[in-house]
Structure 1
Amino acid sequence: MYVKRNYGFWMTLNWSKKPLLIGLLYSILVCAGYILIDQQFYVPWQPISIIGIAVAFYLGFKNNSSYDRTWEARKIWGSIVNNSRSFAAASVSFIQGKDDERVKKELIYRHLAWITALRHQLRLSRPWEHLENRLKEVYSPTICEDYNTKLNKELLEFISKEELSHLEGKSNLATQIMKRQAIRLQELKDLNYFDDFRHMELHQLMVSFYEDQGKSERIKNFPFPRQYASTALWLTFVFCAFVPLGLLDIFQEANNWIFWICPFFSALIIWVFFLMEKDR
């Protein structure tokens, strides 16, 4: 997600210039064919504009749905942040006993390992994702993690090699780490590091973390329905294919150089609609 103050025009143009250039080339060919063939072929603009309105409504619905998914993800992230702070504060204040500083550090570091594992899992690729668009300085830097090597290296900063070895072969490391955290809390309770009430408070935080993880995985593993996304794309293609033919209806009576403004207007309209289609 882009988090700086302004998102510049040239940045937008950089990742969306392909439809603009192809649309300009297509429009020039249509207008040139209109002149060279010397036959009046065009489509009245009125029905094309109706198609454009329908496509715009469809794209608006899709973009609103995409924003809702983004906002839900933002709320989930905020919940993880807040509950993590609460867990760290509870660990520091609740735990009392022999070598309690080491125990506090162990719990907090294991929680950091859970966050790290969850981050890596959520960045794994899915078949419906457009991996070819993850180009540096075009959409965003490549963010897919090296799940097999980099993850283990980062986890070793927070948990021991012995604990990491127990995670080998597990398909969902974040879940297993949280399971180990719950077991460890029960062990500490049995050793009288905290009482039953405080143990229940810590356990409720574990439940919250599981819920946040499940919500995150729901967004990751259930994409925006492909029939809606694909239909919007093909409707955009259909509308943009008719745009130059419709503008010929408007510019055909223009004199000399004014006629050649038509390809640029066509390219601009095509670019705007594909920009809305891609902005999701």
Structure 2
Amino acid sequence: MTALRYQLRLEKEWEHTEERLNNIFVPNICELYYTKLDEELMSCISDEEFEKYKNKSNLATHIMLTQSKRLQELRDQEYFEDFRHMELQKIIHNFYEDQGKSERIKTFPFPRQYASIALWLTLFFAVLTPFGIMDVFMDRIWLTIPLSTLIIWVFYLMEKIGDYSENPFEGTYNDVPITSISNTIEIDLKEMINNHSIPSKTEPVNGFLM
């Protein structure tokens, strides 16, 4: 989960990276993939195992592969029966499917023709709106300006919300808070097994929870 979280935060050229890298609204989290990922992974796995993953392009996938092999080894040693083995493998399979869905959302941009047409139609609508409501306020023509501004602002805001929602893992203030989610899951799991190395809870930075 930690490896996947860092991978999802790597930048893509179609994302709003200019609002992430200026470090005004949110912390600069993209570079953490290269500076903090090793440290976090080595707190969970051995140095020998970590060396096997260093040159892999998809760390999360190879970590799950190792987990699957380890489950088979435990089954061969009869730590559990076939039914439990199947259920545990099903959990890894489901997690792998969810990882693939997340990676496809991250890796493949929303169809550009749809995004471009939506933007141009919004701008075209904004240009025509003042002329469309001018007849309504013939006796008070000055009301055309504030009313058309309000209508244009509403539609433009809706377009921008859709634009930012296309990339939920880009590391801006509109992100899905995957860091906080994974941190909460890690805390819960470690508390269940009475592990003493429980991390501190992720706190908001500049008013935003990542």
Equivalent in 49, 58, 81 of residue 195 of structure 1: 81
1:270 aligns with 2:152: yes
**1:242 Cα deviation after fit:** 1.9
Equivalent in 113, 116, 121 of residue 7 of structure 2: 121
Does the CA-based 8 Å contact 1:120-1:145 persist in structure 2?
A: no
1:164 aligns with 2:50: yes
Provide closer, same or farther for how the CA distance between residues 133 and 247 of structure 1 changes in structure 2, counting only shifts above 3 A.
farther
Equivalent in 94, 100, 121 of residue 235 of structure 1: 121
Equivalent in 69, 75, 95 of residue 209 of structure 1: 95
Q: How many residues align?
A: 161
Unpaired runs of 5+ residues, structure 1, are: 1-114
Counterpart of 1:180?
Answer: 66
**1:116 Cα deviation after fit:** 0.4
**1:143 Cα deviation after fit:** 4.9
Question: Residues of 2 paired with 1:197 and 1:243: CA distance?
Answer: 65
Q: Counterpart of 1:126 in 2: which secondary structure?
A: coil
User: What's the % identity of the aligned pairs?
Assistant: 58
**1:248 Cα deviation after fit:** 3.8
Q: CA RMSD in A?
A: 2.4
User: CA-to-partner distance for each residue in 1:1-20, whole Å, 9 max, x for gaps?
Assistant: xxxxxxxxxxxxxxxxxxxx
The equivalences for 1:60-209 within 5 A come to 115-134=1-20, 143-144=29-30, 146-209=32-95
Normalising by structure 2, report the TM-score: 0.67
Bigger RCO of structures 1 and 2 (CA < 8 A, at least 6 apart): 1
User: CA-to-partner distance for each residue in 1:138-174, whole Å, 9 max, x for gaps?
Assistant: 6x66553521121111111111122111101100000
As a proportion of its length, which structure holds more helix?
1
Unpaired runs of 5+ residues, structure 2, are: 163-210
Please identify the structure whose Cα radius of gyration is greater.
1
**1:265 Cα deviation after fit:** 1.4
Structure 1 letter corresponding to 2:111? P
Structure 2 letter corresponding to 1:222? F
Moved more, 203-212 or 228-237: 203-212
Question: Residues of 1 paired with 2:69 and 2:53: CA distance?
Answer: 15
1:246 aligns with 2:136: no
